[in-house]
Each structure stands twice: as structure tokens, then as C-alpha cells.
Amino acid sequence: MNVLTISNIKKRFGDKEVLKGVSLSVPEHSVFGFIGKNGAGKTTTMKAVLGLLGIDSGEILVADEKVVYGQTKTNKYIGYLPDVPEFYSYMTPSEYLKFCGEITGMETKDIKRRSAELLELVGLGEEHHRIRGFSRGMKQRLGIAQALLNSPKLLICDEPTSALDPVGRKEILDIFLAAREQTTILFSTHILSDVERICSDVAVLNNGRIAVQGELSEIRNMRTADEFSVEVERSEDTAKILSAFSSICKEVSPTQIIFQNHEKDMFNIMKFVAEQQLSIQRIERLEPSLESLFMEVIDK
């Protein structure tokens, strides 16, 4: 089942058509990476899903209910972390979640139980200081806890990792993986390595349309691996391999050579390595990267 289905939505700001017919489906319990360059229209799409922004045409369904601009009915299924979340900085994390729970009408005992669970999930279980002194990453994690408070079917996060350092980014990605059991996660990003690390599904927004969409594993297979790498221990051996196979290989470092992937060549090279008794560090088939695919499908 799809938690979110966007069908052919269009949105224009003045004479600029930002969304030119965007369609995408987010399967339940996926970690969905919504990829696009800055200015591609990711935030615009997300705001439309939340009913915060009117669209010119098309349709959005959340849990099979139609989203209507200005109405919040379908938002009961959604937890949302905006790109720049705001907090009451004089509160502690648990005070903040209590406050958020109260304004959405949760029962006190549910707020207590759920807050404790979520603060644990986002690594703020032992944090009793005020939000004022929090790092960007801590605020982002608290924002995720808040967005999950009402146990939404769909968690939408707008560029949750973009302003963070590698450690902060990994913390957020690990939280998404842990939260996947209880919800579906849709997050926008322009950082492809984050997507490669955790996403089950992706869509690339480019020039107002979805350029590719699907399961990450399928998308990787769209480009068949066409290279493999041989790493040797001694640079003299690199020279030997290069001279024997000059037409099908290239040197990328003093001890690494990349070959076009033809099975027959691979066996020939292995034979050569054995005959010459070269010391091999490793031989591996190179996975096509999401980045190379991304560069193919977007306008540069």
C-alpha cells in the first residue's frame, strides 16, 4: 500500500512553473529519499502534501484521503520536520514534547510514555538541559521526536541532514532506520551518500518533473556495472598489468587499475596475475554509483 500518492501536480509562482506535473508514490514502511538540487521544488512539494500550499492542478492522497489546501484533516497521518525548525528555547526536551502533546490533545499518560520512548530513540533520553544550548543536530533530533509524537503513518523531513556534520548526519540516518518499523519516512536531500546509506526507495526531482523513481536496488540495476578494480601491493606490478592490458584499463593510483568489465578480460587478467605471481590486495566489481546515475538524469 502507498501512504502517499502524488498525481500530476503542477505549481506555478508568477511566471515560473516550479512543478510541471509531478507524480510519485511512497510505499508503506519505506525510507524514501526525495532527491533534487537546490531550488528543484522539494520544499514546495512537501508543503503541498501538508496542505500548506495550494497547487494549480493534480491530486495528492495521504492514506487514501485527498489533501485539500488550507485544511488539516490529512495531517493527522503526518509528522513534519520543516527545514528550519523553531523551538521554545527555554524548555527542556521533555517539557517541549509535553507542550506539543497537550496542544494536539493527547492524554497526559500517553504523552509521558511516548515522550520517554521517543527521547530514547533520538538519543536525548538523558538530556535535561534547556533547548537553548542545543547543537543543530540535537535540535534536529528533538524535532524528529516531536514529529513522531502522534505516531504518524508518514514522517516528512525537509533536508534533515543538510546542515549537519558527518557525525550529526549519521545520527539522524540511524534514527530513521530505527523509526522505520513504526512509520514511513520521506525525506528530501541533495546529499546522495545519505540516500545510498539508508533509503529503500528514491525519486529524483529535476526540472519540475520526476526524472527517475523506484526501489534503490532496481535503480542501481538500471545501470549494469561496467567496471572492476584491481589493487596490487607493489606499484611495479601496476606497470606490468598496464603494459599487458593497455587498451582496456586505466591507472587511477600507483596501486590501482580500473578495467572495463568483460568477463573474458577478467579471467585473462586473473590468469596474468597468477602467471606473473603479482601480489593482489583485492579485485572487485564496481557498483554503479547513485551519483553517476543522478548526473545522467539531471540538467547540469
Ligand X SMILES: Nc1ncnc2c1ncn2[C@@H]1O[C@H](COP(=O)(O)OP(=O)(O)O)[C@@H](O)[C@H]1O
Task: Name the residues that contact ligand X, by CB under 6 A.
Answer: 13, 18, 36, 38-44
Which residue bears the cell 536525548? Answer: 124
Residue number, 24 or 106, with CB nearest to ligand X: 24
Query: Among Mg ion, ligand X, none, what binds residue 44 when CB lies within 5 to 8 Å by partner kind?
Result: ligand X
| Residues that bind Mg ion in the complex, under the rule CB under 5 A | 42-43
CB of 98 to ligand X, least distance (A): 32
**Distance separating alpha carbons of residues 130 and 95, to the nearest angstrom:** 9
138 to 97, 131, 169: CA distances (angstroms): 14, 9, 11
CB of 53 to ligand X, least distance (A): 8
**Distance separating alpha carbons of residues 47 and 33, to the nearest angstrom:** 16
Are the C-beta atoms of residues 214 and 229 closer than 8 Å to each other?
Answer: no
CB of 158 to ligand X, least distance (A): 7
Query: Among ligand X, Mg ion, none, what binds residue 39 when CB lies within 5 to 8 Å by partner kind?
Result: ligand X
CB of 16 to ligand X, least distance (A): 6
Extended beta strands in the chain, E state: 2-13, 16-27, 31-35, 57-62, 65-66, 78-81, 154-158, 184-189, 201-206, 209-215, 227-232, 249-253, 256-260, 280-285
Query: Among Mg ion, ligand X, none, what binds residue 160 when CB lies within 5 to 8 Å by partner kind?
Result: none
CB of 40 to ligand X, least distance (A): 4
Query: Among ligand X, Mg ion, none, what binds residue 79 when CB lies within 5 to 8 Å by partner kind?
Result: none
3-class DSSP assignment, residue 164? coil
Residue number, 194 or 237, with CB nearest to ligand X: 194
274 to 158, 249, 262, 271: CA distances (angstroms): 52, 18, 19, 5
Residue number, 18 or 157, with CB nearest to ligand X: 18
CB of 9 to Mg ion, least distance (A): 16
Query: Among ligand X, Mg ion, none, what binds residue 114 when CB lies within 5 to 8 Å by partner kind?
Result: none
Residue number, 70 or 133, with CB nearest to ligand X: 70
Please identify the residue of the shown chain whose CB is closest to the bound Mg ion.
43
Phi, psi of 23 (to 5 degrees): -130, 130
Residue number, 36 or 143, with CB nearest to ligand X: 36
List the grid coordinates of 37. 538540487
Question: Cα-atom radius of gyration of the chain, to the nearest Å?
Answer: 24
Residue number, 38 or 277, with CB nearest to ligand X: 38
